[in-house]
Chain A
Amino acid sequence: MLGVLLEARLEQAQILKKVVEAIKDLVQDCNFDCNDAGIQLQAMDNSHVALVSMKLGSEGFSPYRCDRNIALGINLNSLMKVLRAAANEDLLTLKAEDQPDSLNLLFESSSQDRLSEYDIKLMDIDQEHLGIPDTEYAATITLPSAEFQRICRDLSALSESVSIEANKDGVKFACSGDIGNGSVTLRPHTNVEDEDKSTKIELTEPVNLTFSLKYLVNFCKASSLSATVRLCLSNEVPLLVEYQMGAGYLRFYLAPKIGDEE
C-alpha cells in the first residue's frame, strides 16, 4: 500500500474487541488519536458525567508505526460490527493512509489460513478534550475486577446511587432505595496464592463519596480486560476506575453526586 501513515498489529484482536465493547454504550463516536507513542482515546458520555480515557502504547503492537499525528474519527457501533468478525486470537492489523477516509482492518487467524479484510469509513468529529490534572488521591483501592462488578450489579438492584466510604479498616459500598438498603464491606487482605485476588487499600485520609450505579455497572463491562481494578478516590473529585492492559490502560472517570451546594 502506498502512502501508509499508520500500521499497527495487535497479537490478539480480543484486546481491541474488549475495549470497544466496554465503552460503546458510553460513547457513540470518538477520535482515536494516533501518534508515535501509540493509540489514545478520550471521550465523554453525552451528559458529561463520565469520561473514558484509553491508551494502547506502541509497545503493545508489533510492529507499530505512525508517521504523523492523526485523529481517526470512528463510530464505535460500526467498529464493533467489524470487530465481531474477528476471532479473539486473531492477529489484528490497523492501517490508515495519509489523509484517510477509511480505516483498514485486517484479521489473520493464527493458523494463517484465513485472511479477512475490512474498511470502515471515518468521520469528522469535532471533539472537546478535557485536561485531567494529576491528582494525589486520598484513597486507592485495588480489588479483583469480578468482585467490583458483582458489588455494583448487586447494589444497582436496590438503588440508583452508591456511597463509597473508605477508611483504614476497609471500604464500604452502601446504598438505600425504596425497597430497603444494603451494603458490602471489603477489608484489606492478601491472597498468597493468587496476588490478583487480594484487596489492597492505600489511604492518606478517609473518603466518602456518592456515585451513580448505572455508570459504574457500565464501567464494569471492562472487567474482562484485567483481573484487577483500581479505584482512586478523593473527596469531591471524580472517581477514577482503572483497568490495566498489557501496554496501556482503560480509565473511567465519574463525577460524584453532590448534595445541594446552596
Chain B
Amino acid sequence: MGIKQLYQVISEAAPDAIKNGEIKNHFGRKVAIDASMSIYSFLIAVRSEGQVLTSETGETTSHLMGMFYRTLRMVDNGIKPLYVFDGKPPTLKSGELAKRTARKFEAQEAHEEAKEVGTAEEIEKFSRRTVRATREHNEECKRLLKLMGIPYLDAPCEAEAQCAILAKSGKVYAAASEDMDTLCFETPILLRHLTFSEQRKQPIQEIHLDRVMAGLDMTREQFIDLCILLGCDYCDTIPKVGPTTALKLIRQYKSIEGVIENLDKDKYKVPDYFPYQDARELLMNPEVVPADECDFKWDAPDTEGLVDFLVGGKGFNEDRVRSGAARLSKNQTTAQQSRLEGFFKVIPKTEEELANLKRKNEEKVAEKKKRAKLDAKAKKDSKKAPRGAN
C-alpha cells in the first residue's frame, strides 16, 4: 500500500513539511477523502472483541458504523468531507493486486485452521487479514452518504489520484488518505489520520508538498522516481535498495535510467520485469476526471431515511442515529465560521527567509543524525562493557 518508507524519508529530509494538529484546526475546510481506503480501515478497526460488527441477520455493519460516526466527527469539527471511491484498478496494479489476493487466500486458510486449533488471538489476527471491502460495502456506504447529505464521487481509476487533482485545483483544501502516494499525484496538502477514531487520540497529520520538495530538493520527476525505487503499487523494487540508498542514488543520478546505468551490477540486481516507465507514467498522469467537471455539494440529511436504513435495516440505536442526523442538519444550517486565509493572503517568504529555513532544517537533520550516531555508539559501548562490571 502506498510508497514504502516515504514517510520516514520525508520526516528525515524535510521535517518542516509535516505538521501535527488537532482536528478542529481544519474546520471550515473541504477535504476529499479516499473512501475505499477508509472503508477498508473501518472493516479492520471498527470491531468489538475482535469480531466485525453485524446486524441481527449477520450482515457486516462495521463499515457503516465507521462511515457514520467518523464522518460525524469531521462534520462536528466543521470539516466538509467529500468521499471519492476507487474506479477500476490500473492494469499495472494487477501484479500487486494478485499478490494481495494470494495473501488474502493464505490468510483465509490460516484463519480456518486457527479456528480449528488456534488461540483466540490467532483467530483474530487472521480474521483481520481476510478483510476485503466488497462492492456491497461500497454501495451501502454510498447509500449512507447520500442519506447523510455528504457528497461522493466515483473516480475513473485510483481514488487518491482524484482526491489529489481536486486539492490541486483548489476545489478542496486537501486530500485525505493514509496512502503516501497521494503526494505523487501532486496534492498540495495531504491529511492523514483524519478518519481515525476520536479515542485513538491521533493528531491529524498535515504534509505539505512544496516543503517536501524543497526539503528533498527535487523536481517532481525525481520525486516520482524516488517513490518507484522506494516501492509503489505498480512495480517491484530493486532488491537491497532501501530508503537511504534510493535517496542517495536519485540525488546522484537524477533518474531511474541514470541509476540503472550506474548501478553496481554485482551488488544490486535489477528485476527482469521492471516496468518503471509505465509506473512513472501512471504516477505522473493518472486517469482522473478534470476537477472543473466534478460537481458536489453538501445537503441536509434525510433523517427518516437514515433511521429506516440504519435502525430498521442494520440494527443501529435509534436515538444515536437521530442525534447524529440532528448534528448534521445543525451544521448544515448554522452560519459557518470562516477562516482568515480566505481574506488575508499569506505573504510569501523572502529568499533570505527561505535560505534561513533551509539552513535550519539542515542543521536539525545533521543534529538528529549526530544524536543517532552517538546513541548507537553508546549502545555499542554498553554492550561491550561486560555485564555487572562496575
Q: Which A residues are closer than 8 A to B by beta carbons?
A: 44, 46-51, 124, 126, 128-133, 161, 210, 212, 237-238, 253, 255-260, 262
Task: Report the minimum CB–CB distance from A254 to chain B (whole Å).
Answer: 8
Residues B353-373 near A (CB distance < 8 A): 357, 360
- Hey, which chain B residues are within 8 Å of A48, CB to CB? 25, 339-341
Distance in angstroms from A252 CB to nearest chain B CB is 11
State the CA gap A129–B345 with chains docked (Å). 8
B24 touches A257 (CB 8 A): no
4 closest Cβ pairs, A-B complex: A257-B335, A130-B344, A255-B338, A129-B347
Which one of A51, A126, A262 lies within 8 Å of B344 (CB-CB)? Answer: A51
Q: Which of A130, A133, A161 contacts B346 (CB 8 A)?
A: A130
A52 → B minimal CB distance (Å): 11
Chain B residues near A212: list those with CB within 8 A: 337
Contact of A210 among B298, B335, B345, B346 (CB under 8 A): B335
B347, chain A: closest CB distance, angstroms: 5
Are A124 and B343 in contact, CB atoms less than 8 angstroms apart? no
Measured in the bound complex, the distance between the Cα atoms of B376 and A65 in whole Å is: 48
> Which of A46, A50, A126, A132 has the most chain B CB atoms inside 10 A of its CB?
A126
Residues of B within 8 A of A210 (CB): 335
- Give A45's nearest chain B residue, CB to CB: B340
- Given A48-B25, A258-B338, A260-B332, the answer on whether A130 and B345 have CB atoms closer than 8 Å is yes
Partner of B338, one of A51, A128, A129, A257: A257
Are B298 and A256 closer than 8 Å at their CB atoms?
Answer: no
Which residues does chain B contribute within 8 Å of A126, judged by CB atoms? 16, 357
Given contacts A161-B335, A260-B332, contact A49 B343 (CB under 8 A): no
Chain A residues contacting B21 (CB-CB under 8 Å) are: 46
Query: Could you give 24 example pairs across A and B, Cβ below 8 Å?
Result: A46-B22, A46-B25, A47-B339, A48-B339, A48-B340, A49-B337, A50-B340, A124-B360, A126-B357, A128-B346, A129-B346, A131-B347, A237-B343, A238-B340, A238-B344, A253-B340, A255-B337, A257-B335, A258-B338, A259-B335, A259-B336, A260-B333, A260-B336, A262-B298
Closest to B299 in A: A262
Q: For the complex, give the distance between the alpha carbons of A48 and B21 in Å.
A: 12
Nearest B residue to A211 via CB reads B337
- Decide if B335 touches A258 in the complex (CB within 8 Å): yes
Q: How far is the CA of A130 from the CA of B348 in the complex (A)?
A: 9
A238 CB to nearest B CB, Å: 5
Set of chain B residues within 8 Å of A253, measured between Cβ atoms? 340, 344
Residues of A within 8 A of B380 (CB): none
Chain B residues with CB below 8 A from A255, complex form: 337-340, 342-343
Q: From known contacts A129-B346, A130-B347, infer whether A49 and B335 are also in contact, taking CB-CB under 8 Å.
A: no
Contacts of B379 in A (CB 8 A): none
- B27: Cβ under 8 A from any A Cβ: yes
* A124-B360, A126-B16, A126-B357 as given contacts; A49 in contact with B339, CB under 8 Å: yes
A50 to B27, CA, bound (A): 13
Is B383's CB within 8 Å of the partner chain A? no
A260 to B27, CA, bound (A): 14
> Given contacts A161-B335, A262-B297, are A49 and B346 in contact (CB under 8 A)?
no
**Contact mask for chain B residues 313-355; partner A; CB cutoff 8 A; 1 contact, 0 none:** 0000000000000000000110111111111111100000000
Size category, B interface: 20 to 34
- C-alpha gap A167/B245 in the complex (Å): 68
| Most A Cβ at <10 Å: residue of B25, B297, B343, B360 | B343
- B126 CB, nearest partner CB in chain A, Å: 43
Residue of A nearest to B298 (CB): A262
Query: Are A131 and B340 closer than 8 Å at their CB atoms?
Result: no
Q: A residues within 8 A CB of B341? A: 48, 130
Distance A212 CA – B336 CA, assembled complex (angstroms): 10
In the docked arrangement, what's the CA distance between A132 and B345, Å?
8
Chain A residues with Cβ under 8 A from B339's Cβ?
47-49, 255
Shortest beta-carbon distance from B319 to chain A in Å: 19
Contact across chains for A131 and B357 when beta carbons are under 8 A apart: no
Kindly list chain B residues whose C-beta atoms are within 8 Å of the C-beta of A47.
Answer: 24-25, 27, 339
Given contacts A262-B297, A262-B298, contact A131 B345 (CB under 8 A): yes
Q: Which of B25, B27, B337 has the most CB of A within 10 A?
A: B337
Instruction: Write out the residue numbers on chain A whose beta carbons fall within 8 Å of the beta carbon of B360.
Output: 124
B6 CB to nearest A CB, Å: 22
Determine the chain A residues whose CB is within 8 A of the CB of B298 once the complex forms.
Answer: 260, 262
For A238, the chain B residues whose CB sits under 8 A away are: 340, 343-344
| Bound Cα distance from A133 to B340, whole angstroms | 12
- Closest residue of A by beta carbon distance from B16: A126
CB distance from B114 to the nearest CB of A (A): 47
- Closest A-chain residue to B331, C-beta based? A260
A15 to B362, CA, bound (A): 39
Which of A129, A130, A258, A262 contacts B340 (CB under 8 A)? A130
CB closest residue in chain B, given A260: B336
- Interchain CB contact under 8 A, B297 and A258: no
Residue of A nearest to B364 (CB): A124
- Measured CB to CB, the closest approach of chain B to A30, in angstroms, equals 15
Convert B2-40 into 0s and 1s, putting 1 for each residue whose CB lies closer than 8 angstroms to a CB of A.
000000000000001000011011010000000000000
Cα–Cα distance between A49 and B84 once the two chains are bound (Å) = 28
Q: Are B297 and A44 in contact (CB under 8 A)?
A: no
Complexed CA–CA distance, A27 and B386 (Å): 52
Q: Kindly list chain A residues whose C-beta atoms are within 8 Å of the C-beta of B357.
A: 126
Q: Who on chain B is nearest to A163 by CB?
A: B335
Question: Pick the contact of A133 from B24, B297, B332, B344 — CB < 8 Å?
Answer: B344
